[in-house]
């Protein structure tokens, strides 16, 4: 018996071995001669021995050929075992008879044989039918794997070198399928089938870059559809032909909507003041600093407002900390509702708030908004004694006139705020280099 060498390299089909089970009979001498010219042969004398050989070396075996008459005596046990075991799903099982019109031909095909040979054994025909049997089993193996993969929640797909789908285990509901039960993704591009055309375009650009460079990529997208947004994680890797050239893409899509929403919520909480819902100190200062850096490049403008709740210690001492929290939450609501989405609003200390107004054209805009929130604060809790003590002090500095970065702008606004607090509170001032020239609205 020939021995197989262990190797990690899968040999081409024509060099893989054929396992012959009980095929030493002279009646199949011609068949053996034809097979030996293009395949290494291994002879075994029993079904059990064949199973052991195929189990150990299945990656290096093209097909198993068995004697029909001998197999019939064992009730085609070899066929049953190999067809029942998923390890052997890619190996064709070929029945061979030394006589023409064997009475067991139909029986062995019904039992699961993939091919049947009988005399006369013509070399070219035999070789072609073996190759076809191997291809057929490879196709069946692919279908079996595809069916198994569909049981996973992830979508696994293949694309060719032009970014067209070869197959996908799932059709996400955000794909455009025309409500056709016979619709297939095969041969289609992302632009053709996805509702979110912007993401579809980005997906195709990513595919072409991967095919060009041969480098895989991972990323997360927000897919917007009729029923809201989903977050999808994509993991893409190139596939290669025998010459090492990229010939397609294999990828997996995981729906991470719940995980991503939780991550975004945790990220939001890490940046949010829990009492007021505004940004906390760190997030406020970082966002303003980042905005100023961008504004330098684009020659933007802005204004920084520093806001203090007047007499806040008195409110806590005389009305209690619960009342103090009510005041802070109410001021937070006023600030949140008084500024547009592109502005940055935050609570930076116990009774301290900060607002950056983005892209304002005139100082009057900042002064008007300061007057507006001051007036609203005075009218909080109108029917409670607490309401008589709620007022705001506000210092204002302009970007880039009063400061070209966050530190400079902060110092200017803080100086204006200090002036307000030293001169009676409950009003607002715009910074000027000399305190005597500070102006009001």
User: pLDDT tens for residues 202-211?
Assistant: 999 999 999 9
Which range (386-390, 430-434, 435-439) has the least confidence? 435-439
Residues 6+ apart with CB under 8 A from 72: 104, 107, 108
Confidence of residue 393 (pLDDT cuts 50, 70, 90): very high
Mean pLDDT value across residues 142-171: 84
pLDDT at residue 2 is higher than 50? no
Mean pLDDT value across residues 148-157: 84
pLDDT at residue 201 is higher than 60? yes
Which residue did the predictor score with more confidence, 283 or 137?
283
DSSP state letter for 349: S
- Residue labelled with tokens 């906390």: 280
pLDDT at residue 436 is higher than 90? no
d(CA 64, CA 115): 10
Mean pLDDT value across residues 92-109: 90
3-state secondary structure of 326: helix
Fold of the CATH domain 13-149: Rossmann fold (3.40.50)
Residue 137 confidence (pLDDT) = 79
d(CA 391, CA 3): 93
Closest by CA to 328, choosing from 350, 344, 345, is 350
Question: In CATH terms, is domain 155-261 a member of 3.30.450.20?
Answer: yes
Confidence of residue 13 (pLDDT cuts 50, 70, 90): very low
In percent, the amount of the chain with pLDDT more than 90 equals: 55
3-state secondary structure of 370: helix
Residue ranges, comma separated, of all CATH 3.30.450.20 domains in the chain are 155-261
Which residue did the predictor score with more confidence, 390 or 12?
390
Residue 405 confidence (pLDDT) = 92
C-beta of residue 48 within 8 angstroms of C-beta of residue 3: no
Closest by CA to 203, choosing from 167, 232, 244, 239, is 232
The DSSP annotation for 57-108 comes to: HGGGEEEEEEEHHHHHHTTTHHHHHHHH-GGGTTS-EEEE-SSTT-TTHHHH
Alpha helices, H only, 150-252? 190-193, 197-213
Q: What is the mean pLDDT of the chain?
A: 87
> Which is it for the CA torsion 31, 35, 37, 43, positive or negative?
negative
d(CA 105, CA 83): 18
Residue 273 confidence (pLDDT) = 93
Which range (100-109, 220-229, 235-244, 253-262) has the least confidence? 220-229
Helix 47-57, helix 77-84: angle, nearest 10:
20
Taking the CA atoms of the chain, what radius of gyration do you get in angstroms?
39
In percent, the amount of the chain with pLDDT more than 70 equals: 92
Residue ranges, comma separated, of all CATH 3.40.50.2300 domains in the chain are 13-149
pLDDT at residue 10 is higher than 60? no
Confidence of residue 230 (pLDDT cuts 50, 70, 90): confident
Residue ranges, comma separated, of all CATH 3.30.70.270 domains in the chain are 272-437
CA angle 356, 331, 352 (to 5 degrees): 60
Residue 57 confidence (pLDDT) = 84
Fold of the CATH domain 272-437: Alpha-Beta Plaits (3.30.70)
Residue 259 confidence (pLDDT) = 87
Q: Could you report the per-residue pLDDT of 256-275, keeping only the tens digit for each? A: 888 888 887 788 788 899 99
Residue 146 confidence (pLDDT) = 76
pLDDT at residue 439 is higher than 70? no
Confidence of residue 7 (pLDDT cuts 50, 70, 90): very low
Residue 97 confidence (pLDDT) = 93
Mean pLDDT value across residues 178-202: 83
Write b or e for each residue in 25-59: b if 16 or more Cβ atoms lie within 10 A of its Cβ, otherwise e: eeebebbbebbeebbbebbbeebeebbebbeebbe
Length of the chain: 441
CA angle 47, 50, 52 (to 5 degrees): 115
Alpha helices, H only, 150-213? 190-193, 197-213
3-state secondary structure of 408: helix
């Amino acid at each position: 018996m020939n021995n197989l060498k262990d190797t990690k390299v899968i040999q081409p089909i024509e060099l893989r071995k054929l396992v012959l089970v009980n095929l030493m009979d002279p009646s199949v001498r011609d068949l053996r001669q034809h097979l030996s010219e293009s395949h290494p042969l291994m002879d075994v004398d029993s079904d059990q021995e064949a199973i052991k050989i195929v189990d150990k070396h299945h990656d290096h075996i093209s097909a198993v050929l068995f004697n029909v008459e001998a197999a019939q005596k064992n009730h085609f046990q070899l066929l049953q075992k190999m067809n029942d075991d998923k390890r052997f799903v890619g190996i064709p099982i070929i029945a061979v008879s030394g006589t023409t019109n064997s009475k067991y031909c139909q029986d062995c095909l019904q039992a699961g044989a993939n091919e049947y040979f009988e005399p006369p054994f013509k070399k070219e025909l035999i070789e072609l039918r073996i190759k076809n049997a191997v291809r057929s089993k490879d196709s069946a193996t692919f279908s079996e794997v595809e069916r198994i993969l569909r049981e996973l929640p992830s979508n696994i797909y293949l694309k060719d070198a032009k970014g067209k789908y070869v197959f996908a285990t799932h059709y996400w509901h955000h794909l455009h399928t025309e409500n056709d039960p016979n619709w297939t993704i095969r041969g289609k591009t992302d632009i053709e089938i996805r509702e979110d055309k912007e993401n579809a375009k980005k997906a195709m650009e990513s595919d072409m870059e991967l095919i060009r460079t041969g480098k895989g990529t991972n990323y997360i997208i927000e897919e917007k559809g009729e029923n809201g947004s989903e977050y999808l994680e994509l993991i893409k890797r190139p596939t290669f032909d025998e010459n090492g050239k990229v010939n397609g893409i294999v990828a997996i899509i995981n729906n991470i909507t719940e995980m991503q929403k939780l991550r975004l919520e945790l990220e939001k909480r890490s940046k949010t003041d829990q009492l007021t819902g505004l940004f906390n100190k760190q997030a406020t200062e970082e966002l303003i600093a980042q905005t100023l850096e961008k504004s330098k490049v684009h020659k933007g403008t802005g204004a920084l407002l520093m806001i203090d709740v007047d007499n806040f210690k008195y409110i806590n001492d005389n009305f209690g900390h619960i009342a103090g929290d009510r005041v802070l939450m109410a001021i937070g609501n006023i600030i949140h509702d008084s500024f547009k989405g592109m502005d940055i609003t935050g609570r930076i200390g116990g009774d301290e708030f900060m607002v950056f107004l983005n892209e304002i054209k005139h100082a009057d805009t900042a002064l008007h908004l300061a007057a507006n929130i001051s007036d609203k604060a005075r009218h909080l809790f109108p029917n409670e004694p607490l309401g008589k003590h709620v007022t705001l002090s506000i210092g204002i500095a302009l970007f880039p006139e009063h400061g070209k970065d966050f530190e400079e702008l902060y110092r200017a606004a803080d100086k204006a705020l200090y002036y307000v607090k030293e001169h009676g509170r409950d009003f607002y001032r715009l910074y000027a280099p000399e305190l005597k020239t500070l102006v009001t609205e």
